[in-house]
């Protein structure tokens, strides 16, 4: 018997809340219409359920439903082994966009680290990054000139951040930038955890000739607190799996190209 079949129609509110959160954990997002039909209650009842759970910080409300709310990002050391195959595939596709002689900006994060690993066979590149791991990896590669963008080091992210880092970014002419992000929201938009992160990524979109977000599928249909200004001006979003149809359609309306990497 599935978990769904054990719930009676018109289940009491606590049971509905448990099931809503279970579905969010499994699917990433839920719709008001779907939940109202399943529980055999009105859409207004479901909206009240979602509002109550949102007020408790258990989910985020989006148009037509709700999504998982992620208020903060786990440390890089905790994320490093998650979906390694998907991140490697994203890295290979991203590295294929890089040409000899380019100036490349690599954001901090585990997926951008996979991009750096896939670029190790390239030559005659100038690399700009605030990531300590990426700098240490690529500074030993022949033909690469690595610039570490200064600032206060965030121990969780193992990268520099802050005003000094933002100022250092502006000194470079960047051909292509690969950025991380907190989530790919149900509205088809890459969002972030912090104001500093959102501002940094917004500035890089404006600075680079072409910018790509690199996000693995664990970040689909989630909500993080901050929007990234200028997101729609990015050239593309590189992922390891196709998102839900409504997310893909919403992203297409925003403008950036959806690019799905092959897992080989």
How far CA 92 is from CA of 75, 86, 113, 188, in Å, comes to 24, 10, 11, 23
Verify that 144 and 194 share a domain, yes or no: yes
Verify that 62 and 174 share a domain, yes or no: no
Verify that 222 and 186 share a domain, yes or no: yes
Q: Quote the number of domains for the chain.
A: 2
| Confidence label for 10 from pLDDT (cuts 50, 70 and 90) | low
133 has pLDDT over 60 = yes
CATH number of the structural domain spanning residue 59: 1.10.10.10
Residue 77 pLDDT: 58
Verify that 220 and 98 share a domain, yes or no: yes
For the stretch 83-130, pLDDT in tens is: 889 999 999 999 999 999 999 999 999 999 999 999 988 889 999 999
Maximum mean pLDDT: which of 110-114, 155-159, 195-199: 110-114
SS3 at position 48:
helix
Verify that 37 and 80 share a domain, yes or no: no
Verify that 112 and 228 share a domain, yes or no: yes
Q: Residue 87's domain spans which residues?
A: 76-260
| Confidence label for 22 from pLDDT (cuts 50, 70 and 90) | confident
Residue 78 pLDDT: 57
Verify that 8 and 62 share a domain, yes or no: yes
185: closest CA among 214, 223, 213, 216? 223
CATH number of the structural domain spanning residue 136: 3.40.50.1360
Verify that 57 and 83 share a domain, yes or no: no
Tokens of 183: 């989530």
Residue 5 pLDDT: 45
* Whole-number average pLDDT of the chain: 87
Verify that 100 and 184 share a domain, yes or no: yes
3-state secondary structure 220-264: ECEECCEECCCHHHCCEEEECCCCCHHHHHHHHHHCCEEEECCCC
Residue 150, by phi and psi: left (phi above 0), alpha (psi -120 to 50) or beta? beta
From 21, 44, 69, the end of a domain falls on 69
Verify that 96 and 172 share a domain, yes or no: yes
Average pLDDT of the residues in 182-206: 91
187: closest CA among 141, 149, 136, 227? 227
From 37, 69, 101, the end of a domain falls on 69
For the stretch 42-68, pLDDT in tens is: 999 999 998 888 887 777 777 788 877
Verify that 133 and 206 share a domain, yes or no: yes
Report the distance separating Cα 81 and Cα 88, nearest Å. Answer: 11
Model-level pTM? Answer: 0.76
From 69, 87, 106, the end of a domain falls on 69
243 has pLDDT over 60 = yes
Verify that 200 and 80 share a domain, yes or no: yes
| Confidence label for 180 from pLDDT (cuts 50, 70 and 90) | very high
Residue 62 pLDDT: 76
Torsion of CA 209, 227, 201, 165, to 10 degrees: 150
């Amino acid at each position: 018997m599935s978990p769904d079949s054990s719930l009676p129609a018109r289940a009491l509110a606590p049971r509905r809340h448990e099931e809503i959160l279970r579905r969010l954990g499994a699917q990433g997002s839920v719709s008001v219409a779907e939940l109202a039909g399943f529980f055999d209650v009105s859409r207004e009842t479901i909206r009240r359920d979602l509002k109550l759970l949102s007020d408790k910080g258990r989910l985020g409300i989006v148009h037509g439903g709700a999504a998982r709310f992620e208020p903060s990002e786990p440390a890089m050391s905790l994320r490093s082994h998650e979906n390694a195959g998907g991140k490697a595939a994203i890295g290979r596709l991203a590295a294929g966009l890089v040409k000899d002689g380019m100036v490349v900006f690599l954001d901090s994060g585990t997926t951008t680290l996979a991009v750096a690993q896939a670029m190790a066979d390239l030559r005659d590149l100038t690399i700009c990054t605030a990531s300590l791991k990426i700098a240490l990896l690529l500074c030993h590669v022949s033909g690469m000139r690595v610039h570490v963008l200064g600032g206060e080091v965030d121990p969780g992210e193992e990268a520099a951040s802050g005003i000094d880092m933002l100022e250092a970014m502006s000194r470079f002419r960047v051909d292509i930038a690969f950025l991380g992000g907190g989530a790919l929201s149900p509205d088809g938009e890459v969002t972030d955890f912090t104001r500093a992160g959102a501002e940094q990524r917004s500035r890089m979109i404006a600075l680079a000739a072409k910018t790509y977000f690199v996000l693995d599928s664990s970040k689909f249909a989630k909500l993080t607190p901050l929007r990234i200004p200028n997101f729609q001006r990015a050239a593309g979003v590189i992922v390891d799996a196709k998102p839900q149809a409504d997310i893909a359609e919403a992203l297409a309306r925003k403008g950036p190209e959806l690019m799905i990497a092959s897992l080989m």
